[in-house]
């Protein structure tokens, strides 16, 4: 059922989310994905299926279904991706088929740049909820910081109110640099739960990561495989051979080992499964240090990040 328009004046607060008891089969499916705690007390699955550039049709529905079947419990979409409907159809059908409660599936979407401003943000959130066919989102992000500070802060106030009203469980940002984060901290009532930015061994953004960590803001790493452009790196290849893993699995494991939420993108069932198999081993300290030393390159793959840090 599509939600009606929400404003602080018209929407009742929703502050209680009931945790249903899972049957054994559902528990076993969910056990392959670990979760990390956010600064608002909610938990987020540490690996998500990213659907950037995925079409709004059967291919994406099949990918989301394959991910949920494999054990993913976190789907990351956005209004800008224009595939919220396909994601929603797949999520709802999978929950019905497997008798999985809504609380077990973590769904994220994002406010696009054209919709900054208090009222526009509420409307955009309503539109996303309607497209997903869901009553609430687990996470809603500002996709990138508006150049207009007043509109940016107004959008954040709207997200704070949406969280209070129960339309979203956690709120955060994406592509925010250090100055954007600090400006928000200086003016916000609710500290962002996450900052979704490009992070991988060749683009580590350590100063920004440190600022976020200092304020309890979890890093969500998009493009964790550097869009496939570094899979032939000889250092990564040598480490992959040592562990009997693929270079992609080394890159994903490194990111998760830093405590980041990792957002690999794929529409292929075999790769979706392979990405999920990236977290069943532990990198040795010396290998982590070797990978850390790759960060000096600061290789950005076309990020929307609007700052130099």
Q: From the annotation, which residues make up the binding site?
A: 143
The owner of tokens 């659907």 is 51
Q: Could you confirm whether 81 is annotated as catalytic?
A: yes
Q: Are 171 and 160 in contact (CB under 8 A)?
A: yes
List the catalytic residue out of 81, 106, 140, 222.
81
State how far the Cα of 301 lies from the Cα of 202, in Å rounded to an integer: 10
Do 207 and 309 meet the contact criterion of CB atoms below 8 Å apart? yes
Cα torsion 46, 198, 122, 159: sign: positive
| Cβ 265 vs Cβ 51: under 8 Å | yes
Show binding-site residues for substrate: 143
> Which residues are designated catalytic?
81
């Amino acid at each position: 059922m599509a939600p009606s328009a929400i404003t602080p004046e018209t929407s009742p607060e929703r502050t209680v989310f009931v945790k249903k008891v899972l049957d054994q089969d559902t528990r076993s499916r969910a056990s392959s994905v670990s979760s990390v705690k956010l600064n608002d007390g909610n938990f987020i699955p540490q690996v998500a299926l990213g659907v950037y550039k995925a079409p709004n049709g059967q291919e994406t529905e099949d990918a989301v279904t394959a991910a949920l079947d494999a054990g993913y419990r976190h789907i990351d979409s956005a209004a800008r991706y224009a595939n919220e409907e396909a994601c929603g159809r797949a999520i709802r059908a999978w929950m019905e088929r497997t008798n999985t409660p809504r609380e077990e599936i973590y769904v994220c979407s994002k406010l696009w740049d054209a919709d900054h401003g208090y009222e526009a943000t509420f409307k955009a959130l309503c539109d996303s909820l309607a497209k997903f066919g869901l009553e609430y989102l687990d996470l809603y992000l500002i996709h990138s910081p508006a150049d207009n500070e007043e509109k940016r802060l107004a959008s954040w106030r709207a997200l704070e109110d949406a969280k209070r009203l129960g339309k979203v469980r956690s709120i955060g940002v994406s592509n925010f640099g250090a100055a954007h984060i600090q400006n928000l901290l200086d003016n916000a009532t609710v500290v962002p739960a996450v900052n979704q930015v490009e992070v991988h061994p060749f683009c580590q953004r350590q100063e920004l990561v440190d600022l976020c960590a200092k304020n309890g803001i979890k890093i969500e790493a998009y493009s964790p495989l550097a869009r496939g452009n570094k899979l032939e790196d000889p250092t990564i290849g040598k480490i992959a051979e040592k562990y009997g893993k693929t270079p992609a699995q080394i890159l994903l494991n490194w990111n998760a080992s830093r405590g980041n939420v990792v957002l690999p993108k794929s529409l292929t069932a075999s790769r979706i499964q392979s990405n999920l198999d990236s977290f069943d081993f532990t990198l040795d300290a010396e290998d982590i240090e070797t990978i850390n030393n790759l960060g000096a390159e600061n290789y950005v793959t076309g990020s929307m990040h609007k700052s130099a840090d």
